[in-house]
Amino acid sequence: MKKYDHKKIEGKQQKAWAKTKLYTTKEDTKKPKYYVLDMFPYPSGEGLHVGHPKGYIATDVVSRMKRMQGFSVLHPMGFDAFGLPAENYAIKMKVNPAVAVAKNVARYKKQLEILGFDYDWNREVNTTDPAFYKWTQWAFLKMYEKGLAYESSEPINWCPSCKTGLANEDLEDGKCERCGSVVEKKPIRQWVIRITKYADRLLADLDALDWPESIKESQRNWIGRSEGAELVFPVVNASTKHELSNITVFTTRPDTLYGVTYAVVAPEHALLTKLKTENPAAVSNWAEIESYTASAKAKSEIDRTDVKREKTGVMVHGVSVKNPITGELVSLFVADYVLADYGTGAVMAVPAHDERDFAFAKRYGLPIKEVILGGDIKTGAFAGFGTLVHSGHFSGQNAEVAQKGIVSEAKGKWVVKFKLKDWVFSRQRYWGEPFPIMRDGDVVVPVSEKDLPVILPKVKSYEPSGTGESPLATIKKWVEVKIGKEKSAKKMMRETNTMPQWAGSSWYYLRYMDPRNSSKLVDPKKEHYWNEVDLYVGGAEHATRHLIYARFWHKFLFDMGVVSTKEPFKKLQSVGLIMAEDGRKMSKRYGNVVNPDDIVATYGADTMRVYEMFMGPFDQAIAWNTQSMIGSRRFIERVWRLGEKVSTTKKHVDTPVIEAVLNKTIKKVTEDISMMRFNTAISTLMATMNEFEKNDMLSRGAYEKYLKLVAPFAPHVADELYAQLGNKKSIHITSWPICDETKIGVEKVKIAVQVMGKVRGVIEVEKDLSEAVARELALALPEVKKWVDGKEIVKVIYVPGRIVNIVVKG
């Protein structure tokens, strides 16, 4: 037998697979389908490091097994390339983003190809391809038609360095996720998507998904549903008691209404401007108030929401607010611990039972009135539900029970609020999908469907202007559109903002089903065939951004009748990060990056694949260790050498022990791959190898079955060895072995004999041995006798195939 030469084998097999179009996917209605999807990469200038392919290897393993199990498998790959990272990179390298992206994509593709994945490259998509983004624009157009996309000039997060507005989801600790700059609040005209309209569905449909609980929990947290009451507090002139206006507060604890000792509005609250215009004389300290609101607004989000900061605020002198249930007048404050964009921007303060109100009241010497017995404010933001006191005729009732009555008596209404904000959808940058929107003066005119796509023009200068307009605004030829041919034709102006990076990735998985369709986003027949994504694998960092946007986009398309499922991704699996050997993140900055090209050259793609699946539990973060990888290489070499032990005579029959081991391995490996427990699948294959090596000869049939189990992990060497046995067909399109349970059962098992729970001996018996015989055998063991003699046997527990436990007394 020749020496194992990974370079030769891997090159040869990859060529053969391409030549025979082994992985070309078809909608085969005679087969069940399986759609397994990777989160497509964002091709950066640095190329892939060994951590990136971990998830791709996993989907490759699953897809190969599924194919062998008779499924028609869709396992596609594409590239997400619009947006800030590509654009900032292009600016830095002084090249056009389109050129940089094409180069990076080519490099990524090459790096992926040498790993021997079974992607059907005929279905490749790229979000920056006009044939693709035509449908991103189309969906936006439909959202606009349905009133889900609207223009707004509310202050939004603005990154001063990237010179663009950002969505809430794009922030990390109040900083720009891309460049780390502290984000400012700035009023910018922008397109916003009413994702909040889907908040309840996004929340409710989570329950049925087969996703990691932690990711579902993050989404619930992000959507942040809370039920509570809106209560109206009249605002009155403090001396005349004359009603000037009113504020609506939102509270989840209306049962504490009797404990309200003051009220607070956010610095941005409309009441202040309203009072200033309508009743300026009612308030005596405008200067103080205005200086406070101005400084609050000037603060960055990060400063303003710092929990450790002491709470500040200013009393609004001259006005009081009236408790809607007691008629009591309490003072009004402006304070920035109340957020303008949550609830109603105004709260009723109950310092006795709310931690934040308590801190504020203590600082400003405000009254604290207890209304719930046993409500310890130190235990959390809110008191528990105890018995009400000092609460009028509600006193003595359970607080939770009393809520309803209090709300109705205060003439409040029950409402549901969400933390989720509408999606700020425009960026003042060049490298993104243009909006299919024009303007005739102030009137918004959507581009008609037949004129899609609106192609992103080539520009000389694509640096951001910082003015709130994108660089597209400077291209007069593109911005001005003539409607009609005659000289008097109307001139319209194109929208010059572009869409955010997350637009294309919100629906790309649908395009793989029908990537070249120019008349439809996806053909309904194909959509019906592939249906939802059966398995989606990617990083947990997308929990609250991509995975929320994509679910929203999908639900919208469902409402439009474009897709037939309510949810896009049936099962989600997170992939754990691969860290560098030093335990830090792999980064050029630290100089600790391991390049897969080098690993493949030295050890081979099969070794790298096996190693990454063997390292540890798939969803756990783990440090790379090149030294440890040698074990995977040895394993492959042992599989290779095992070929020498394979019997050439057809008559060879395996021993019952070998048959049992093989069938158990088939069962375990099949289960483990299905459950993404790749590390134990491989350890089982290794243990099986140890058993095989103890034997003199192995039948060809047994070896072939074993090779099939190895094939998803090490596809090149498995196919090569399979061919060396004289097979003409690729191993990857043969059928997956099935476990023969009858071959497992006959085997004798070693079971432990315990005395008082401590193992004292072992007996080798038939699996279904009767209790009486087991007891007799166990008690006959000298090492057991030693511990039992002279003592009374209280009872004997026998679990067939597992254990005998003798309980003694004395």
Partner RNA sequence: GAGCACGUGGCGGAAUGGUAUACGCGCUAGUCUUAGGAACUAGUUCCUUACGGAUUGGGGGUUCAAGUCCCCCCGUGCUCACCA
Q: Does 809 bind RNA (CB under 7 A)?
A: no
Chain positions 257 to 286 lying near RNA, rule: CB under 7 A, are 266
CB of 806 to RNA, least distance (A): 8
Name which position in 236, 437, 438, 615 contacts RNA (CB under 7 A): 615
The residue within the footprint of RNA, chosen from 34, 191, 222, 431 (CB under 7 A), is 222
- Answer for the pair 751, 804: CB distance below 8 angstroms, yes or no: yes
Closest CB to RNA among 337 and 425? 337
Contact 622, 586 (CB under 8 A): no
Give yes or no for a contact between 88 and 100, defined as CB atoms under 8 angstroms apart: no
Determine the straight-line distance between the first and last CA of the chain, rounded to whole angstroms: 65
683 interacts with RNA by CB under 7 A: yes
CB of 475 to RNA, least distance (A): 37
Write the binding mask 396 to 435 for RNA: x where contact by CB under 7 A, - elsewhere.
Answer: ---------------------x-x----------------
Q: Does 250 bind RNA (CB under 7 A)?
A: yes
Q: What b-and-e string marks burial along 674-687, b requiring 16 or more CB atoms within 10 Å of the CB?
A: eebbbbebbebbbe
* Residues in region 741-800 near RNA by CB under 7 A: 750-752, 754, 756-759, 762, 783, 795, 797, 799
CB of 128 to RNA, least distance (A): 27
Tokens standing for 113?
Answer: 């190809």
Q: Which of 221, 284, 291, 408 binds RNA (CB under 7 A)?
A: 221
Which of 766, 792, 807 has the alpha carbon at shortest distance from 777? 766
* CA 262 – CA 480 distance, rounded (Å): 55
Residues 654-673 that bind RNA (CB under 7 A): none
User: Is 213 a residue that touches RNA (CB under 7 A)?
Assistant: yes
131 binds RNA per the rule CB under 7 A: no
Give the residue with the Cβ less far from RNA, 475 or 762: 762
Which CB sits closer to RNA, 523 or 637? 637
- Interacting positions 148-187 with RNA (CB under 7 A): 172
Site for RNA in 337-376 (CB under 7 A): 337-339, 342-343, 345, 347, 354, 356
User: Are residues 171 and 122 in contact, defined by beta-carbon separation less than 8 angstroms?
Assistant: no
Give the per-residue contact string, 372-391, with RNA (x = CB under 7 A; - = no). --------xx----------
751: CB partners within 8 A, 6+ apart:
762, 763, 764, 765, 774, 801, 802, 803, 804
Nearer to RNA, 307 or 443 (CB): 307
Nearest distance from residue 306's CB to RNA, in Å?
A: 6
Contact flags string 89-128 toward RNA, x per CB under 7 A: ----------------------------------------
Please report the DSSP string for 567-588 in residue order. -SBSBEEE-PPEEPTTSSPP-G
CA distance 459 to 465: 13
3 state SS for 480-531: EEEECCCCCCEEEEECCCECCCCCHHHCHHHHCCCCCCCCCCCCHHHHHHHC
Distance, CA of 793 to CA of 384 (rounded, Å):
53
Contact 140, 149 (CB under 8 A): yes
Tokens representing residue 201 in the block: 């569905």
Only one of the segments 114-122, 125-133, 591-599, 631-639 lies at the binding site for RNA (rule: CB under 7 A); that segment is 631-639
Q: What is the DSSP letter of 387?
A: B
Nearest-approach distance from CB 756 to RNA, in angstroms? 6
Which CB sits closer to RNA, 235 or 685?
Answer: 685
Question: Which residues, in sequence order, are bridge partners of residue 423?
Answer: 193
Cis omega (within 30 of 0) for bond into 453: yes
Q: Which tokens is 730 given?
A: 């690729």
226 binds RNA (CB under 7 A): yes
Q: Please, is 332 exposed, middle or buried when counting C-beta atoms within 10 Å of its C-beta (0-12, 13-18, 19+)?
A: buried
Stretch that binds RNA, among 87-95, 397-405, 599-607, 801-809 (CB under 7 A): 801-809
529 neighbors 33 (Cβ within 8 angstroms): yes
Q: Taking the complex as a whole, how short is the minimal distance between the CB of residue 335 and RNA, in angstroms?
A: 8
100 neighbors 89 (Cβ within 8 angstroms): yes
CA gap 149, 421 in Å, rounded: 13
**Pattern of binders to RNA over 512-541, x per CB under 7 A?**
----------------------------xx
- We find the least distance from the C-beta atom of residue 339 to RNA, in angstroms, to be 4
Q: Which is nearer to RNA, 147 or 782 (CB)?
A: 782
Contact between 622 and RNA per CB under 7 A: yes
